[in-house]
């Protein structure tokens, strides 16, 4: 069930109406409804993997209680490692087994050992990387006595499987989401309107920006050998815009949908393409994943408190693991490695936290310096995205070579003027709303009612008439 599908358009109002009809009943009934709706939502993808979601949920719920009730540290540690090994084991089998098997087979063949490893012929369970990380953070926090276990199986199950965030995040923390699930929620008209506004903006990002950009990005990437450097660069730029519109659009729909039910999810994007350096970009892109790796991997490794070489080691580990989290492919590992290389000069010069605030926060326009910094950051990000999108390392290097060739100065073969204009208008709106959690949250409220509603109708009509060819949300594959 896609957020931009007719099925979801029917599903959401029904769940929303039933949810608030239960407002006068005990809180457990609202949470039970959310759990049933979430499991139905997930089953619509592939009901065969329901057992995996439910098993992971029960394992971590049971582990949390066992660790809290453990009489000594040895028992506590046993349950902790049981949960970690089982959760990562499932992730390794379904997501990474074939990668390691195929690469080991190729390595052994290169030295003359002919082997034929058995590989899994199964699809990747949707959302497994996300709900696994939900559970891992919960178990780790209990183990280090940061939180107490939740002893209500329904409430904990909603935390793991709440349908707006189930298949592509944001990656929630128990300290943030569970208290909201356990607290009585009351209908708030202003919050509902705000949620609908964010859903509308997210849908526009997805079906108008991302799906239309995908048409041109796919054309270039699928026939990269036939194109000049200028066309390859245009393709990389279109993919950069596509993945932003696709994933931040999903996140807007998820956060807006959750707000309809009186729940606030973690923010996942903060206008990353207005970043002035790569460190700022990673503070603004997929925020929930970046903060997860920071808290549960980077800091335990020693963070930036160790010596010079330890800082370099930890930085490369965090970026490479982040790349590998996205997919079992050398292209994702290379993407992470490249971003680590980008980050190195900032870290070594101690300037990785120079740009913390919002760019041009008190001004309408950026300075020439800020504009140049944003352009450079966007350019190197587009180059890195080539590895993320490419089907192979060979394709990625061929595209990079083509871009940095004399043909870069030729006219591109792909020149969709109307789409370029649409993207420029989109980013102007994003720029205008960059101080808010989503672009059209507040600045439109300053306008007259007629102007606001004209804008909303333009978005709705655009979505109905000019949606691009339907594309699966990119992050559903992770």
What positions carry a catalytic annotation?
A: 326
Cis-peptide, bond into residue 8, ω within 30° of zero = no
**Burial profile 26-37: b = 16 or more Cβ within 10 angstroms, e = fewer:** ebebbbbbbbeb
Q: How far, in Å, CA of 255 to CA of 208, rounded?
A: 19
Task: Count the residues in the chain.
Answer: 478
In sequence order, what are the residues at sequence separation of 6 or more whose Cβ sits closer than 8 angstroms to the Cβ of residue 298? 314, 317, 318
Q: How far, in Å, CA of 260 to CA of 202, rounded?
A: 15
Q: Helix (H, G, I), strand (E, B), or coil: what is residue 329?
A: coil
CA of residue 116 relative to chain centroid, distance: 35
Count CB-CB contacts under 10 A for residue 14.
10
In sequence order, what are the residues at sequence separation of 6 or more whose Cβ sits closer than 8 angstroms to the Cβ of residue 103? none
Q: Where are the alpha helices (DSSP H) in 204-228?
A: 211-222
Among 251, 303, 298, 297, residue whose Cα is nearest residue 272: 251
Q: What's the burial of 428, exposed, middle or buried (CB within 10 Å: 0-12/13-18/19+)?
A: exposed
Count CB-CB contacts under 10 A for residue 22.
16
DSSP annotation of 123: P
Here the tokens at position 430 are: 């994003």
Q: How far, in Å, CA of 472 to CA of 199, rounded?
A: 17
The single residue listed with the structure tokens 């926090």 is: 141
The single residue listed with the structure tokens 């326009």 is: 365
């Amino acid at each position: 069930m896609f957020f931009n599908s007719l099925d979801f358009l029917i599903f959401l109002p029904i769940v929303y109406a039933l949810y608030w009809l239960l407002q006068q009943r005990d809180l457990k009934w609202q949470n039970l409804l959310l759990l049933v709706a979430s499991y139905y939502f997930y089953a619509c993808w592939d009901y065969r993997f329901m057992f995996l979601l439910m098993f992971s949920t029960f394992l971590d719920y049971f582990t949390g209680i066992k660790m809290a009730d453990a009489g000594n540290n040895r028992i506590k540690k046993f349950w902790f490692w049981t949960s970690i090994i089982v959760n990562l084991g499932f992730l390794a089998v379904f997501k990474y087994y074939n990668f390691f098997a195929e690469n080991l087979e190729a390595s052994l063949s290169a030295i003359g050992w002919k082997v034929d490893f058995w590989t899994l012929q199964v699809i990747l369970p949707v959302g497994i990387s996300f709900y696994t990380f939900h559970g891992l953070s919960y178990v780790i926090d209990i183990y280090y006595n940061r939180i107490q276990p939740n002893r209500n199986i329904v409430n904990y199950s909603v935390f793991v499987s709440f349908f707006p965030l189930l298949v592509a995040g944001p990656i929630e923390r128990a300290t943030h989401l569970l208290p909201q699930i356990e607290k009585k929620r009351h209908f708030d008209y202003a919050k509902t309107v705000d949620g609908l506004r964010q859903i509308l903006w997210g849908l526009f990002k997805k079906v108008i920006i991302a799906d239309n950009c995908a048409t041109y990005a796919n054309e270039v990437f699928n026939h990269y050998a036939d194109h000049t450097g200028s066309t390859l660069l245009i393709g990389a730029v279109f993919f950069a815009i596509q993945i932003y519109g696709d994933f931040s659009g999903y996140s807007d729909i998820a956060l807006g949908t959750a707000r309809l039910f009186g729940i606030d999810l973690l923010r996942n994007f903060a206008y990353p393409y207005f970043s002035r350096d790569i460190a700022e970009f990673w503070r603004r892109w997929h925020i929930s994943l970046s903060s997860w790796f920071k808290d549960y991997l980077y800091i335990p490794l020693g963070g930036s408190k160790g010596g010079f070489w330890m800082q370099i080691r930890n930085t490369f580990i965090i970026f490479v693991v982040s790349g590998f989290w996205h997919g079992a492919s050398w292209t994702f590992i290379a993407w992470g490695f490249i971003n680590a290389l980008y980050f190195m000069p900032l870290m070594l010069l101690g300037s990785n936290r120079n740009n913390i605030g919002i760019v041009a926060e008190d001004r309408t326009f950026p300075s020439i310096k800020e504009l140049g910094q944003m352009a450079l950051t966007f350019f190197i990000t587009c180059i890195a995205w080539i590895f993320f999108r490419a089907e192979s390392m060979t394709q990625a290097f061929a595209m990079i070579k083509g871009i940095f060739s004399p043909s870069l100065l030729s006219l591109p073969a792909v020149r969709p003027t109307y789409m370029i204009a649409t993207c420029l208008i989109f980013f102007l709106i994003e720029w205008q709303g960059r101080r808010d959690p989503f672009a059209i949250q507040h600045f439109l409220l300053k306008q007259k009612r007629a102007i606001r509603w004209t804008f909303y109708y333009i978005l709705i009509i655009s979505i109905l008439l000019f949606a691009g060819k339907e594309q699966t949300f990119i992050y559903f594959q992770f």
